[in-house]
Chain A
Amino acid sequence: MRKNKVLKIENNNAVLTSNLSHYYGYGENRKKVLDRVSINIKERELVLLKGPSGCGKTTLLTLIGALRTCQEGSLNVLARELNGASRKTRQRLRRHIGMIFQGHNLLRCLTAEQNVQMGADLIKGLTYLQRREIARKWLSEVGLEDHHTKLPNALSGGQKQRVAIARALSANPKLLLADEPTSALDSVTGREIVSLLKRLSKDQNCSVLMVTHDPRISDMADRILNMEDGKIF
């Protein structure tokens, strides 16, 4: 049985960027969207990233999520330097990063349980039944134990978001990136979810970087980063 390689994080930093810059377009149309961003996110830390629309939050999130190629500066995620990293290295690293998208992005043909199990399927060496058990456990954690056989179109927006959160957590990530995860949830559920994420960050040694505009959860963060015009203030 093969196990997922455990990443050893040095200096307690799950994410460490130094002078990270990023551009879109070419020639005269080239636009700088990240300007020498230097941040760090410690292990088990829950960090909120705030800022106006178009300030570069999502770009930073996708770079840390190893979804884009790093162009300039240093980007170290889970002890892997991503500047100059190959596509394969980034793909392998993504297995240790949980992602929660604003638009849920659930697979429409799969039930809630199967969607969550797709995350657990990334853990090597587990049997089908073990992976299913993990999926059920996470669905219970997000309060959807009675909805595991439902298809996404039979779930409300909030329920879909919770399934997406369960899916991200089921792969046992070391870093969780979330883009407006509470935007579709009411204030009580939103706080419950963030509380869950906070508990996980402590219990499971998982760092969380969350992009949000939701002022109701600001008090739950360990740290808040503010971004404007591609710069961190």
Chain B
Amino acid sequence: MNFFKYRKIPLAWLLLSRQPLRLLVAIAGISFAGILMFMQIGFRDGLFDTSVTIHNLLDADLVLISPRSKSSISMSGFPRRRLIQALAQNEVVSVSPVNMNYLLWRNPENLKTRSILALGFNPDDSILLDKEFSKKANLLKKPGRVLFDRLSRPEFGPVEEWFKSGKKVQTEVAGKRVLVEGLVELGPSFGADGNLITSIETYLKLFPANPKGSIEIGLVKLVANSNSQRVSQILKKSLPNDVRVLTKDEFIEFEKNYWKTSTAIGFIFSLGAFMGFIVGCVVVYQILYSDVTDHLPEYATLLAMGYKLKSLFYVVAREGFLLALFGYLPAYVSGQILYAVIRNSTKLPIIMDSNKSITIFALILVMCMGSAGIAMRKLVDADPAEIF
């Protein structure tokens, strides 16, 4: 209330709005930089999030993988008996072996082939957190049956459409005939454009080169309220070195870490966001610098009247803040629209979460305030003695 009562003339806003065209150019420039950052960070986070779509859905407390495995796109096998050994621990309730590899899927409509991520598991085991999945898993007990991920990219064919219309969806995977018995909802990732789930029995028929007794993932469930970290440590000590024990969170982090560190993708998108930041800095600096230069005699007049140099700095800082605010809003709205377009066309889960929106606002704010800070140096040139 006092702030309103003792408010001052909004000089920063009046200085900015005096030249509407220049203000619009500034807002457009900042918005463009914001959109660029939204897109780059959106793609980067989308990459990391989609790379663990399946990992998040796995119903397990601990995960066993081969130490040679680098990520879901380059999984190595380890002996299945390690899972049986893990069962010896009191706190382990159940174990589920999972085979995982890329196989060639033939589009049933145009007969073109495309690589799809195939998961093979025991239909009696509940490997996914989705409760509906257990019912569908029973359909896989017959050989040659698969569940198709309805969120897979359209290049795999109109599987969902045909299936829902009651049409029999029969095609080839790795050159062997399969029948789609149901649909699941997993989602594509940067590594896999589509997914299918089948029984281990069918999986081994589709991929006979898989070494006998070798699996790519071992899911371990613990009794309720167990300390998964502690059990993980025990298993690490008791199992041989040909297997790696991870908690589910560590398994998710293992996958994300691969994309962050072992590929240039994370770096490229971060660099793209940084470029957007630099472009924005240049635009804001140019606008604020010319604004200060244009109004230098007016600033000198204020100094002559007894205003402190510090209060003029505040005016420029407020101009920077206003530009950040006005530039951010269109960037946010455009970001939302572009994210929706990308989601619809690529099926990638790129979403505008609070983390992203706050991060970009903070970056735009730093961009504008930093540029304002540099433009302030020009204010020192305002000599009140020169105005007489």
Interface residues of A (CB under 8 A from B): 58, 61-62, 65, 67-68, 91-97, 99, 101-103, 105, 107-110, 114, 117-119, 121-122, 127-129, 167, 171, 179
Contact = CB atoms under 8 A, between A and B. Distances in A.
Contacts of A101: 301, 304, 387-388
B154 interface: no
Interface in B1-28: 4-9, 11, 14-15, 17-18
Interface string B261-292: 00000000000000000000000000000000
A108 B19 CA distance: 11
Given A105-B298, A127-B6, A67 B388 contact: yes
Given A99-B388, A128-B5, 14 more contacts: A65-B388, A67-B388, A91-B309, A92-B306, A94-B304, A96-B306, A103-B387, A105-B297, A105-B387, A109-B11, A118-B305, A121-B9, A128-B6, A171-B306
Contacts of B305: 94-95, 99, 118-119, 122, 167, 171
B384 A107 contact: no
B18 A95 contact: no
7 contacts: A65-B304, A101-B388, A107-B11, A107-B298, A107-B302, A108-B18, A128-B6
A127 to B, nearest CB: 5
Contacts of B302: 107, 118
Interface in B227-279: none
Given A94-B306, A95-B306, A110 B9 contact: yes
Given A68-B385, A108-B298, A127 B5 contact: yes
Contacts of A107: 11, 295, 298, 301-302
A161 to B, nearest CB: 14
A127 B1 CA distance: 12
Given A102-B388, A128-B8, A109 B306 contact: no
Contacts of B15: 109
B307 interface: yes
Nearest to B5: A127
